Amino acid sequence: MASEPPPSLRTGSWFRSVVFYEIPVRSFFDSNGDGIGDLPGVTAKLDYLGRLGVGAIWLLPFYVSPWRDEGYDISDHYAIHPKLGTVDDFDRLVEEAHRRGIRVLGDYVANHVSTDHPWFQEARRDRSSPYRAWFLWSDTGTEFSRVRVIFRDEETSNWSWDEVAGQYYFHRFFASQADLNYDAPAVRAEMIRYARFWLGRGLDGFRCDAVPYLFKREGTRSQSLPEVHQFFREVRAMMDREFPGTVLVAEANQSVPETIPYFGEGREFQMVMHFPLMPNLFLALGEEDPRRIVHVLRATLPAPGGTSWAYFLRNHDEVTGEHLSEDEREMMLWLYGRDPRAVLNHGLRRRLAPMLDGDDDRVEMMTALLLGLPGAPYLYYGDEIGMGDRLDLPDRDGVRTPMQWSEGPTAGFSTASPDRLVRPIVSDPRFAPSVRSVAGEEGRDGSLLERVRALLSVRNERAETFSSPLYDALELPGSPVFGFVRPGPAEHILCLYNLSRSEVEVQARLPAWSAPHPTELLGHERRLTVTEGALRGRLPPYGFAWVGFPRVPDPPPP
């Protein structure tokens, strides 16, 4: 059994002050030469993550699974996929991470199970089995007709015919993932048991998959129903009682009004992934106009007391355009989806660096933006070295290729022969391991990895300010510069980001607190000056600046 984390790892709002890092275990590092990344592989790379400044890792599903959807199709919730390691390997990873001050989140996949799961297998074979009630069946496949199909490039209906059962079964995602029936009390109890099991082995929390869809009600879109909120309040209450300091993170890819309630006034998720913001960050950059970022943040900040938004640029899925208007979606595809193979479902299956034309300045600036916002930043593995993607692979596999540790045919990911790897290595010469790898970038002045590390280092040093929910947008009318201030106890930090390809003059009136002696913390501009309550300077194309202003001491009492 994994040891208890040191108490300091789970105190206060730790989740607001650390940088998270997402890891698809199969693609990260192969420790035993079978071509597949594994849990000991992650353990082996903890020192790298520590050097990068990561404070928490999020592991994609590592459970037993036929792997038709990257492990999001679980066939045993209580065991580790044999290719990924053993329970001892899991315990060791958690223990070693904790020893380095790194927390570990797992992925909690509650909405569905693999159709290979013994629960579904028994349910389909035997109508009198108690498991029959764990799934949703139909003779016609016409119920819940208002529920949208999410993987619309692959599936045409949320119902699939099952020969064995002689009925249709419901699935929100792939047909290989049967939805559980949350109206069955045994399902709810089992899913709480599943959470308790892994928290008991030392996980510091969960990123919860596909949260809005658990309950279905005829005549509705069956999204974000009150019952969903109720269920997660129960999970959270169990965690607070039995595993204090652990966190729940919601993946709720919805509109702003539907996303905010997942904070549940502090009684549901401590963190909610900021899906409404993510595509808008890319649109704003492409349009060289920050206004849409300002608008989304105005509608969504601050996160309610004690909770936090979770920001991300890229993850293991596509850049979703589901909640954009038709015009906005077209704009996004025009800006970033010129290669038609990049378009998937409602979005784009691309990694960060290729979206930004392999331009390190833009990647650094967008990463600085992510790290500056009030909330927790989530990095996607490999984005710190500017890894590319493979549009020749199916579905979202192209953004899940092996981590590039060094040069060579397997990128230092594995000792297996290249044709035995879980996925082929990136071959685009702009992003291949010969030009993008940890070994090639670590310690090299000016490399993307070192630039990203410097960002994390400043953010970690000033965690007190960056983790505060305080944020004041700066008025910069007509400017392509996005700017805001993060007020802190000892220092206020001004963050400026030039979203345009041109050098720009910045002029901003500063709030009354501004001390006249700013310190440039990081960025591309060293000539910012403050006079008479205004800041002046120039930012290069896609440049950014983080500037610290010591707090002016309060005047002595009269």
With respect to ligand BGC, which residue has the nearer C-beta, 116 or 317?
317
Q: Rounded to the nearest whole angstrom, what is the least distance from the CB of residue 115 to ligand BGC in the complex? A: 13
Output DSSP code: residue 319: B
Active-site position among 69, 96, 209, 383: 209
With respect to ligand BGC, which residue has the nearer C-beta, 167 or 176?
176
Q: Which two tokens stand for residue 109?
A: 């996949």
Q: Is-contact 237 279, C-beta < 8 A?
A: no
The candidate with the shortest Cα–Cα distance to 207, out of 21, 422, 401, is 21
Q: Rounded to the nearest whole angstrom, what is the least distance from the CB of residue 172 to ligand BGC in the complex? A: 8
- Whole-number Å distance between alpha carbons of 218 and 56: 40
Paired strand residues for 248 = 206
Q: Rounded to the nearest whole angstrom, what is the least distance from the CB of residue 222 to ligand BGC in the complex? A: 15
Q: Rounded to the nearest whole angstrom, what is the least distance from the CB of residue 107 to ligand BGC in the complex? A: 8
Task: Give buried/exposed letters for 370-383 (b at 16+ CB in 10 A, else e).
Answer: bbbbbbbbbbbbbb
With respect to ligand BGC, which residue has the nearer C-beta, 131 or 173?
173
Active-site position among 107, 204, 251, 268: 251
- On the 0-12 / 13-18 / 19+ scale of CB atoms within 10 A, 335 is middle
CB atoms within 10 A of CB 481: 23
With respect to ligand BGC, which residue has the nearer C-beta, 172 or 462?
172
- Whole-number Å distance between alpha carbons of 17 and 377: 9
DSSP 347-403: EE---HHHHTTT-HHHHHHHHHHHHHSSSEEEEETTGGGT----TTSSTTGGGSPPP
Output DSSP code: residue 267: T
Q: Which two tokens stand for residue 401?
A: 């290729």
With respect to ligand BGC, which residue has the nearer C-beta, 134 or 151?
151
With respect to ligand BGC, which residue has the nearer C-beta, 209 or 389?
209
With respect to ligand BGC, which residue has the nearer C-beta, 251 or 384?
251
Q: Rounded to the nearest whole angstrom, what is the least distance from the CB of residue 71 to ligand BGC in the complex? A: 9
DSSP 207-253: EEETGGGS---TTS--SS-HHHHHHHHHHHHHHHHHSTT-EEEE---
The answer for 460, left when phi > 0, alpha when psi is -120 to 50, beta otherwise, is: alpha
Question: Rg (Cα) of the chain, in Å, rounded?
Answer: 24
Q: Which two tokens stand for residue 518?
A: 């700013």
With respect to ligand BGC, which residue has the nearer C-beta, 144 or 243?
144
Phi, psi (degrees; rounded to nearest 5) at 17: -110, -5
Nearest residue to ligand BGC by CB is 72
Instruction: Establish whether 419 is a catalytic residue.
Output: no
Q: Rounded to the nearest whole angstrom, what is the least distance from the CB of residue 27 to ligand BGC in the complex? A: 13
Q: Rounded to the nearest whole angstrom, what is the least distance from the CB of residue 309 to ligand BGC in the complex? A: 18
The candidate with the shortest Cα–Cα distance to 363, out of 439, 468, 436, is 436
Q: Report the SS3 class of residue 76.
A: strand
**Rule CB under 6 A: which residues touch ligand BGC?**
69-70, 72, 109, 173, 209-210, 251, 316-317
Output DSSP code: residue 180: B
With respect to ligand BGC, which residue has the nearer C-beta, 320 or 465?
320
Paired strand residues for 530 = 535
Q: Report the SS3 class of residue 415.
A: coil
Q: Is-contact 520 545, C-beta < 8 A?
A: yes
Instruction: Establish whether 525 is a catalytic residue.
Output: no
Return the H-helix or E-strand segment holding 98: helix 87-99
Q: Which two tokens stand for residue 72?
A: 């999001």
With respect to ligand BGC, which residue has the nearer C-beta, 215 or 482?
215
The candidate with the shortest Cα–Cα distance to 336, out of 357, 322, 315, is 357
Q: Rounded to the nearest whole angstrom, what is the least distance from the CB of residue 205 to ligand BGC in the complex? A: 16
- The catalytic site residues sit at 209, 251
